[in-house]
A and B are shown apart, each in its own frame.
Chain A
Amino acid sequence: MTNWRGFQFAPGDFGAAFVSALYSLVALPIIALLGTPLAWWLARRDFRGKPVLDALLLLPLLTPPLALGILLASLYGPYSAAGELLARLGVVLTNTAPAFVLAQVYGAMPYYVVTARAAFEGVPRELEEIALTLGKERWQVFLEVSVKLARLGLAAGLALAWVRALGEFGIVLIIAYFPHGIPVQLWVNLQDSGLDAVYPLLWLFLLVAMPLPLWLGMVSRRRGLL
């Protein structure tokens, strides 16, 4: 399907790849830092209002991304009360780098949390308890036992979140049309130049997207490395 003879990148393709890779690399640690404790908490603690939190978490998964983008824009976009307030503080969450990353976090974090929570639920509670009786503090138990035993699931969740963040289109389209990441650039290429301008960028996308999930899979399967 790729027109190899006429293989040519459109203007802005490499810029878009750079934007996608860079912002996803920013979004992923945010997702991991916020999502890992949240997932453990959801897996281990029972509290009132947990179903509400569950529902809130599922909402971005169930809502079509485009609709979610519109919802978020009306929440903190330039014409909303929150958006005005933020703008007065000098924070613009539309068509800026923070907006882009925020859109990615919204889109991708639920995938990570749902996967990570299942991974934590698979860690025998007894091993966490034993670690406590061996004199470890709770945060040490979390890092040295829970996270390490859940590492396969956590790595899978991160890989999933990475792919989601890179491929995020709907939310980004509404919240952060600029700067273009690869998905929006694909759309622009299709509109401006037709199919031939899509395939080269798609190859570039795979090249950017593939290494991290592969690396995560390899590392998490090697015992003793983490």
Chain B
Amino acid sequence: MEIDYRLEQPLAIEARLTVAGFTVLAGRSGEGKTSLLKAIAGLLPAAGTPYGALAPQRRPIGYLPQGYGLFPHLRAWENVAFPLAERRGRRTRAQALMERLGIAGVAERYPDALSGGQQQRVALARALARAPELLLLDEPTSALDPATRDAVLGELIEEIRRIGLPTLAVTHDVQLAAMADRMALMVGHRIVQEGTPREVFAHPVSAGAARLLGYRNVLGGRVRGLDGLFAIVDLDGVTLLAPAPAWASPGTRVGVAIRSQDITLSRRNAAAPAENAFPVTLASVHEEGLSLRVLARGSIALDILLPRGTDTPGEAALAAVRPAHVHLFRPEE
């Protein structure tokens, strides 16, 4: 399903993206992701397709806001039955939906007596009762218990896939995007990139996209030359090999993105890796859970995440990164 919406208020937003299966739109807080969902639901004035000309009560969408928006004065099953118009058989139909989502046991409870995950399922069942063509989820992870978050969400995504309903979830949590069928990135109130998570995570198109995707090393450089499929890139005093994008030619300015966990450290005098190795000085080392977070200085500053069980090689070290893990993008003007 193609979504194309344009808002003026409360923010100027332009969003054009494809929703297929479970699609995640990731962006920082304040990008207007919630406003976009509300616009698609018809709750904010906007121009767009699909449904742009319909009143909110005519749009075949299921909208789950952050916090789910359950009616506190209705029991779980009454919430699910809320959109059902005909009086007869409401209870049965609500019950069937709740059974399908595994929440039949809490039908008699009021929302304040439900866990975050149960509330989410009741809200989903209520949205499904309307028989929507498109499901909109606002920050589906925000009201979940961190300990069970991934499991609860994984089941939710599975359930949505089974139902086969196109779903657009917006989030600031890029990890959620990793679980999606498709993803898109919103930077500066517009969609800058979309595709499968594998494509998008590996090829950020801009510095903003790279930072959003969790790249902590976002640098600038210039292409010195091309060597087959690789580009030779000069950064301040360091030369790196990277897969060459089609637009790269000698002299082009490029952005360079490297993930913290893709950088290795070794002793200066150890047998150096053949490519992309350069000396650095370790400025600080902190434990981060089971890993070590290292800040290195040298001709370029790097943020490095060493996996469990790695020792730091001492203050003077050699950093290295595989050419395939150096991602080039067009720098912003």
State A137–B42 Cα separation when bound (angstroms): 13
A144 to chain B: which residues have CB within 8 Å?
A: 82
Secondary structure call for the B interface? loop
Which chain B residues numbered 38 to 74 have a C-beta less than 8 Å away from chain A? 38, 41-43, 56-59, 61-63, 65, 69, 71-73
Query: What are the interface flags for B74-111 relative to A under an 8 Å C-beta threshold, 1 for contact and 0 otherwise?
Result: 01000000110100000000000000000000000010
Of the four ranges (under 10, 10 to 19, 20 to 34, 35 or more), the interface on chain B belongs to 20 to 34
CA distance A61 to B56 in the complex (A): 39
Q: Residues of A contacting B110 with CB < 8 Å? A: 223
**Which A residues from 147 to 173 make CB contacts under 8 A with B?**
148-149, 151
A100 to B41, CA, bound (A): 49
Known contacts A126-B69, A127-B69, A223-B110; A133/B42 CB under 8 A: yes
Task: Identify B126's interface contact among A126, A134, A148, A151, CB under 8 A.
Answer: A134
User: Is B224 in contact with chain A by the CB < 8 A criterion?
Assistant: no
Given contacts A149-B72, A149-B73, contact A130 B83 (CB under 8 A): no
A130 to B68, CA, bound (A): 9
Query: Is A131 in contact with chain B by the CB < 8 A criterion?
Result: yes
B216 within 8 A of A: no
Q: Please state if A135 and B65 are interface contacts (CB–CB under 8 Å).
A: no
B130: interface (CB < 8 Å): yes
Q: Is the CB of B83 within 8 A of A135?
A: yes
Q: Are B63 and A133 closer than 8 Å at their CB atoms? A: yes
Q: Does B73 contact A136, Cβ atoms closer than 8 Å?
A: no
A54 at interface by CB-CB < 8 Å: no
A134 near B72 with CB under 8 A, answer no
Smallest CB–CB gap between A129 and chain B, Å? Answer: 5
- With A136-B57, A137-B57, A223-B110 already in contact, the answer to whether A130 and B63 are too (CB < 8 A) is yes
Q: Is A90 an interface residue (CB 8 A)?
A: no
Residues on A with C-beta less than 8 A from B129 are 134
- B302-318 contacts to A, CB under 8 A, are none
CB distance from B332 to the nearest CB of A (A): 36
**Given A126-B65, A223-B110, residue A134 in contact with residue B83 (CB < 8 A):** yes
In the assembled complex, which residues on chain B have CB atoms less than 8 Å from the CB atom of A226?
73
**CB-based nearest A residue for B85:** A135
B96 CB, min distance to chain A CBs, angstroms:
18
* Closest partner residue, chain A, to B126 (CB atom): A134
Cβ–Cβ contact A136 & B83, under 8 A = yes
B interface residues with partner A (beta carbon < 8 Å): 38, 41-43, 56-59, 61-63, 65, 69, 71-73, 75, 82-83, 85, 110, 126-127, 129-130
